Chains A and B, each alone.
Chain A
């Protein structure tokens, strides 16, 4: 424990705690988006055919190409997620910028994402914790994210931990 009470928690975080933010919607998923994602995450090996071979994918129980569960349709969005707005990711009392790191996540998957799907997401701050760590005073923020497709089917829920120091 430090002698001085340091906190990176902002008034904006207190206000947002537990409140679902506004929904944002990704651009429609294309088969090229899926193929590129699979190629990147399997590199240098060739990814499974269900991610890129239309004719093969028709023979699987999915009946067509699906995206890897971890596929992110929100990459290359023009709008930044509301959760990343200033103040919601914490702030140092001295005004210096915080460094952020990904502390981990648990994703629970619903229906798979497919070419043509349009995914919408909403998120909320769940809670946070601050303690002294290897990198000095550190804040751990838990955020819940929910993704649904254009049929309002649940695609994914994520509980993630952001580390700020």
Chain B
């Protein structure tokens, strides 16, 4: 069930949202976003781009995971207003990516219930890869 505005407090955690990512996920995303960049598709191209472990995942897919985590939290009646993030680390093959977030502010503006969060995507080692923020309306 999605959360209500009244249930949210400063410090409320976003329910964790995880995906193991590899070529199965990357290729599907490449297909819908027409993102056939060699270093996302091929290990040798990934190494040529400076990643010794080979191909690596799309930043845009991590962004999508943040959006999805927010949507699943606020439900179909909520609205994602803004999402921003920086891609600070590479998403390696077979990483389990987990979207995390914490409420930093809540307010009612012009009758709209608005919640601001810090968000991130952490990898299998618990390292943050994608610090950012989000604003949602409930």
A48: contacting residue among B60, B71, B82, B84, CB under 8 A = B71
A23 nearest CB across to chain B (Å):
20
A82 at the binding interface (Cβ < 8 Å): no
Question: How many residues on B have C-beta within 8 angstroms of the other chain's C-beta atoms?
Answer: 36
A69: contacting residue among B28, B50, B67, CB under 8 A = B67
A105: contacting residue among B19, B49, B84, CB under 8 A = B84
Interface contacts (Cβ under 8 Å), in number, total: 92
A75 nearest CB across to chain B (Å):
4
Can you name 8 extra interface pairs (CB under 8 A) apart from A49-B76, A62-B76, A109-B79?
A41-B29, A43-B25, A68-B68, A72-B32, A76-B34, A102-B59, A106-B82, A159-B84
Residues on B facing A (Cβ under 8 Å) = 19, 24-25, 28-29, 31-35, 49-50, 58-61, 63-65, 67-68, 71-72, 76-77, 79-87, 130, 132
Residues on A facing B (Cβ under 8 Å) = 33, 36-37, 39-44, 47-50, 60-62, 68-70, 72, 75-76, 99, 101-109, 135, 159, 161
